[in-house]
Structures are given as C-alpha cells and as structure tokens.
Structure 1
Amino acid sequence: MLMAASLVLLMTPALALFYGGMTRQKSVLNMMMMSFSAMGVVGVVYVLWGWSMSYGTQDVLGLFANPFEMFGLAGVIGDADNWMVSTLGAYPQVIDVAFQVTFAIITVALISGAIAERVKFGTWLVFVGVWVTLAFFPLAHMVWGGGLLSHSENGLASMIFGTVDDGDGGLTAAVGPVDFAGGTVVHINAGMAALVLVLLIGKRYDFGRTAFRPHSLPLVMLGAGLLWFGWFGFNAGSAFGANGAAGLAWINTTVATAAAMLGWLLTERIRDGHPTSLGAASGVVAGLVAITPAAGSVHPLGAIALGAVSGALCALAVGLKHRFGYDDSLDVVGVHLVAGLWGTIAIGLLATGTFGTAPGVFYSAEGWKLLVVQIVIALAALVFTAIMTAIAYVICRPLGWRITEADEQSGIDGAEHAESAYEASTNALIR
C-alpha cells in the first residue's frame, strides 16, 4: 500500500509536467507551481481535518463526518495501549491515511489546468484549502466513507432499490453504487469544479484571438507517460492488497488506456486528416480517467470498449469550448468531466456482476437497476460539486482572482513568481 501511495503521489509532479508542456512558455512555471502547491496545502490540511471529515465515524446527514473527531489524526495512529490502529485488520490505519491523502492532492491539482495563465497564485493557495474542505472531503465521505452515495442503508441507492442483509447483522444497499477508484470523488469532482471556475473567473484576455499552442510536446508526453505509470497505484492500489482485484484493475487500466489512445488518434485522423502527439497523450489520460471507477468491476474486453469510446468521446468534447465560448485552458472539462461521467455510467452497462458488484445491462435483465444507481450518483456528485465550488469561489473573491491584463500579456511567470522557465536569449526561439 505504501508503494501504491507513492505511485499516486508521483502523479501530481507528472501532472505538472503534462500541464506545463501544454501551456505557453511564459506560463509554464506558474502552471507547474499550481500542481506542486497542492501537495503543500492538502498535505497539511488532510492530516488536520481531512481524514476525519472523510472517514470519521460521526456522520453528519450522510454528507461528511465530524472534522474534530480525529483532528490531527487523533486515535488513528495508536490506541490507548500504544498499539498501531489497524484498518480492516490488514495493515495500520496510518497507511490508509497515506494512500488517501494522495487522492485529495491530485484531485485539486487537476482543476488548475482549466484556469491556467490568469489566476493569482495566492488566491489559488487559499482556494485549494477551502475547496478540499467543502467539496473533496465530503464527497469522499459520501462515496467511500459510508455516506449518502455509498452502499449504506441510509444512502440514495438504498432509498431507490431497498436494502439486504450484509451478512454481519446490518443492512446494505440491494444494488450498491460502484466507484472503484474515484470516478465521482476525483474526476467528476475535479471536472465539474473546473467548469464552474471557468465560467465564474472568465476567459483569458486573448481567448479566441490567439492560438494557444503547447510550448513543449515532449514534456506533455513525458507527463502522460508518468501519469500512466502512477495510475497503477491509483487503480490497482484501490484493491487494498496484492490480490486478484488488484490484478484485474491493473490489466483493465492498461487495456482501457491503450484503447482510448487509439480511439482519440482515429478520431483525429478522420476529423483532421492526421493523428498528433498531443492527441496520443490526451487519449492516454482520457482512458485512465474513464477506467478509474470501473477498474475492478468490468472484464478486460469491456475495459477495451470503455476506453475506445472514452478516447473518441473526449477527442470530440474538447472542441466544445470553442463552440460555446468557455476557456477551459487545458481541457480539464473535456477530458476529466466527460470521461469521468462516461466511466461512472458505463459501469451500469459493462459490470459483469462477478467481482462483487451488481451486474450491468449487458449481463443481466436486472442490470438497468445498476445503471440507474450509477446515473443517480453521477448527477448527485455533479450538483454537490457545482454548489460547493461556487461557494469556495465566493469565499476567495475578496482576495481577487485575476491577474491584470498587462501581467497576463507579459507572462504570469514573471508577474507572480519573478522567474522564467527559459533563458532570455532563447525566449524568442521558444515563444
């Protein structure tokens, strides 16, 4: 589990490379700093109250747990007799804390790509702490901590299709929702937050008048490759052991990602006449996102289908920002929101029912029930995140969100950090 946690932590620097390469050279440092700073803020906040809000036992209306119950990891590391506290009887609970904090970090880092090149760095730092408190920790509790979107007898799924005996003297949802590694908690959450911020903060000043081209495609491809590598910790690690579920998640992650890359490239070839390296890298991410909620519940053949559709779907979705006029700078909405929704809902079609979940439409006449549940939890996550992100935006508004037009034109790296990613003598060649 510590290796899985380390792989997931690697995903944030990998994202910094991926996003950094996609921006213009005058913005690359700020873009990378937005990802790195998430590790600083969330790393501290999670230990203070994030774990308690996500996985505490004192539930508040199924939305979050008492942030003070385990504040500062009280009672999480050692018990009254100074024995390490275990989780599921398998390993010390502090290891689970290490694993889960990396999910919180990468989620908020993902949002940054949507608002690249125009946001004050200080405001971003405050927003990170506010947003994970209002949106990420509660949604993690709702889905994975026994809250409103979980298998809980008080969850939405139980309200829709009733409950059954869980075998331990309690009740659980008759048709439980499935989110193996974070389709709702991570990707729908980050994607919807990105959309809300893009609409509230507004466009870059030269959006629609200037072609925003990646300044370093090699960096983009390196970042995508490292994301793929780290994602094995993300998905296979969510099996919480070296077992068959981990093996299935690993192979499903691989084939879905491969199929998504091919699906994106084929879409580019048909639409534009040529495949691109940016398309290959983006297709990889689209596949990784889509398979995240389904990695432990579909057959590898289903994973291939899921990935191929995701690649093609996202290749088309990233163009919507030009049609509707919103400035999703690095396609967070077009990839993470779209692929996160598709992966979450597709479980209702492709789940085999042989890996501890209810079967989907393609495997059972009763599969429509799981499809309904998956749609409900996806919509609930969308609405909750939209509201919480808007509140977080308003809280941070007195600090000022936007840099000036002059600073945006000259470059946010110099304006916010007094640094340049490249020597001045080479700027003209790289610009």
Structure 2
Amino acid sequence: MLTDSLRILFRYWLTRHGRRWTDRASLERWQEARIRSHLSQVRLQSPFYREWWGNRPLSEWREFPMIDKQIMMEQFDRLNTAGILQEDAFALALRAEQTRDFTPMIGGTTIGLSSGTSGHRGLFLVSREERLAWVGAVLAKVLPGSLLGKHRIAFFLRANSNLYAAVGSRRLQFWFYDLLDPLERHLGRLREQQPTLLVAPPSMLRLLAERQREGRLSIAPGRIVSVAEVLDPLDRRYIEETFGLTLHQVYQCTEGFLAATCAHGTLHMNEDIAVIQKEYVDLKLRKFVPVITDFSRMAQPMIRYRLNDVLTERSAPCPCGSPFMAIETIEGRCDDLFYFPARDGEGWVRVFPDFVSRALLAASSDIEAYRVVLHAPNRLEVSLQVADGKRAETETAVANALTGLCDRIGCRTPGFEFTAYAFRPGDRKLRRVERRFGLDLDAALIR
C-alpha cells in the first residue's frame, strides 16, 4: 500500500510529466473515457444523481440536467457518497472557524466551508485519496522548480484546511497565515521565514507589496500566486513591479481546483481533472459561465455543475502549446454584472465588470486603488485612493469616463457618489466591482 508521500509524489509526476496530448481531439477522447467510467460509479453511489439522471444513457451526459450551489446544498445528504450529513458537516466546519483549529475530520474526510461571498455558504468534502491527489496536482502546477528542491511556502487564507496542511514535509516547509490576524503580526514571521513561494489573495499581496516598498518586509520569493479573489490589472501591475516577478494565479473554489497559470503566465483550465462546458453570456466578447464536470472527485461529485462566475476566453493560443482551455480573465461573479436602465426605456443594458475597471483606469493614472458598488440602478458609489492633491481632478475624470461608457452602450447614467477607499483583508473577499441590488433576469429584457 502506497504511503501518503508516495501518493502525492505519484500525482505530482503524473500531472507534470506523465500525460501528454498531441492535440485537442486526443485530450477530449481521453476525457470522454474517464467521464463515462466516473459517471457509472457516481450513479451507483449517489442516490441524488441516480434519480436526477433517471435512465438516460451515460453517452448523453453533456445534456444531463445541471445543478448549482443551491441544489447541491439542498441535496447534500443524498448527493455525497461519504455518508456525511449536512448538519454534522456544518457543525464541524463552524466549530473549526471559531476555534481556528482546522484539523478535525469526519471519518477521514476533510470538511471545508466556503467564504459565502454570494450570501450562501457552501460545504465541500474531500476524501483522503482526493486530498493527496489534490496536493500532488497543485504542487505540480504551482511549485517553482522541482519537488526535490527545498521550498518555503507562505499561504494566506481565511481558513486553514487539512488540504493545505498535507503539503508539509522536510523539503516543503509550510506556514499558514490567517487573514483574520492583523497584518503587522505577519510581517515578522515572513521576514524570518523568507518564503520561496508566496500564495495570497491579491488584496493581501497588494498590502504586502506596499510594506515591501516601505522597507518593512524585505522578502524575495521565487514565485507569487494570487488566489481566492479576482485579480485586478491595477493590483497585478503594482505587485509585479514591486517584486520583479510575473504574478501567477490559481482558480480554486468550493467546486474544485479549476485552473492554474503556465510558465507564460496564462491561466489554463485544469482539463486533466474536469471538463468545462461553456454557457455563453456574450459569444462575441468570448464571455461565458463555466459548467464543470469533475471526474476526479467522488466524495462530493460535481457533475454538470454551473458556477456563478463569468470568464473570458483567450482569443489567441498560448505559446506554451497546452491543449487546455486558456482564459484571458476571470471577470467575477454573475451577481456582480451591472445592469442599467436603457436610455430609450426599453429594458436593461448589461455591463461587464472589466468595462467598468477599464474605464476607471483609463480615466486617470493617479488612481492607486478603487471599488465601484452599484447600490441601485441610479446610484453608483465610487471609492478611490488617489495620489496626494489629485482627488478633485481624478473624480471629475472618472465621472466623465463612466458617463462616456454609459453613452456608448446606450444606458442612463446613474448618479455618482465618491467616497474614500478603505479595505481590510479578513473574512470578506475584496470585490472591486460589486452590484448590491437584485434583478429578475428571467423576466427582464436584457440588451
């Protein structure tokens, strides 16, 4: 029987060296065989999916009815194959968050709790075998250099997990940094640790970069990875210029390890783990909502699971030559798409978050940080951090840029409310573009 270390090493080698597809067609043939085998086991072990799919043949899996977070949580007890009840899982996860002790499991299964950015917290289950496979895959795609080298990993997250703790070994020194702790408490540990790999949400990386420029940090990691939040171009530029490195990304959420950047800095979907179907929001702009079928997870099967995120496909192939789908940007949550009343009074005009971000950043080079919150169709709050003495002219430039954007897309211009920028990392993720009013999209006329 393989030890935990050998299982991690095997998955690491398989992910980095063991599989090679000559083209997209060969990858899809391999995926199809893996998925049909996986679905046959899911149908046997998950009462929910067995009823959800009925007697439809597995060859029609691409047309099976979708699920989302709401359905997954409503059917949690019957969907998972580990025999874990939602009540017990929630109790353990909440107790871990309160005590900050994330080691307890249920029968060897890791229990995790999402941050609940959308207002609904999700549970995730990962078996021992899946946990070890996850560690091997993440190390293969994120770790700079060879696994045989020595690495010091600093990981900033809202909550620790057995998933992350499994990384530690003699060659891999792992430190968890709790986002709920004050920033100043972390600086001394980081200076002492001198991490070779720094992993954190971009809002925290931005703060660390500021301390680095102030001379209060003095670290020189070999790689920096952004996780958990949408990476804004303004933060990317600031962090990369500070540390002199290309900023890498990992797209990881309750639903799984979905994407990671290659050596060229391009974000690729992990299609050696899951199939990604695209529900286009705007085909011309290459923007879509991913529907994932993960053929690596059995404890909590994710089959035809519709995420609440909008991604933008990369238009040109990545120089790395990978057949995996390349992503230009992660736009953010579907709930944060802006909707403004059309100027002619007929329905609503949809505005993607990157339109708003680009308009702001093009308006003034004096913007150091920002948040834009749409409280109501006619009320837009713009929080800015700007260079000294430039606030008045920057606010005027931003108002003109956003008015111009509304004119171009044919919507009514909302009222602008300018406020000072403030954000503190912790249990709330940073969303630079956020909508805070609901809209019945099924009934609304959207342009």
Q: Please indicate, yes or no, whether the TM-score normalized by the shorter chain is above 0.5.
A: no
Higher strand proportion (structure 1 or 2): 2
**Taking CA–CA contacts closer than 8 Å with sequence separation of 6 or more, which of the two structures ends up with the larger relative contact order?**
1
Structure with more of its chain in helix, by fraction? 1
* Structure of higher CA gyration radius: 2
Q: TM-score, normalised by structure 1?
A: 0.27
